[in-house]
Amino acid sequence: MTVIYNQNTLVPNGGYATSNGTITGIPTNYTVTYQSPPSNFHDGTDPVMVIPHGSKSVQIPKTATLDVIGTVKINGLDLEERLNTIETLLQIPQRDVTMESKYPKLAELYKQYMRELEKLKTWDALKESK
């Protein structure tokens, strides 16, 4: 039988593999093979996330979607809170996608409103710059 393990991973029969390669609790009839942690995560065909060797960055292709269940923090700041603050300061109206799917006219009215708002802001900025 072959046991494949990563660093600091529990192995069968209560054994434990450590980062220096020592293994305890493995019967002598087992073959132990060390396997590095994966750096490519894929859906069976194409990679959906890649961590290049020696890099501290994660690459996600344009076709992949990143769903976060929880909080995303950047330098200790909650990203969702920051986006909500920005939307409030820019006075961006909150959309109700459920109602928009039920009443498509709402989505069109929102788009018209945003276009008109941009025009007015541009005119105001031009007036103030004179």
Q: Is residue 94 part of a domain?
A: yes
The pLDDT value given to residue 29: 52
**Using CA atoms, how far apart are residues 52 and 63, in angstroms rounded to an integer?**
18
In a domain, 51, yes or no: no
On whether residue 62 sits in a domain, the answer given is no
Does 77 fall in a domain? Answer: yes
Dihedral sign from CA coordinates of 113, 116, 118, 123? negative
- Stated pTM of the model: 0.41
Written as six digits, the tokens of 48 are: 């959906």
Backbone phi, then psi, for 62, in 5-degree steps? -60, -30
Residue 39 falls inside a structural domain:
no
If asked whether residues 77 and 124 sit together in one domain, one would say: yes
Domain limits for position 104: 73-129
**51 and 60 Cβ atoms separated by less than 8 Å:** no
Q: Is residue 124 part of a domain?
A: yes
Question: What is the number of other CB atoms lying within 10 angstroms of the CB of residue 26?
Answer: 19
The first and second tokens of residue 111, run together, are: 């788009």
**How many structural domains is the chain composed of?**
2
pLDDT at 65: 81
27 occurs within a structural domain: yes
b (16+ CB within 10 A) / e for 45-82: eeebbbeeeeeeeeeeeeeeeeeeeeeeeeeeeeeeee
Asked whether residue 68 is domain-assigned, the answer is no
Q: What is the mean pLDDT of each run of 10 residues along the chain (130 residues)?
A: 45 49 54 57 73 80 83 92 92 85 91 90 87
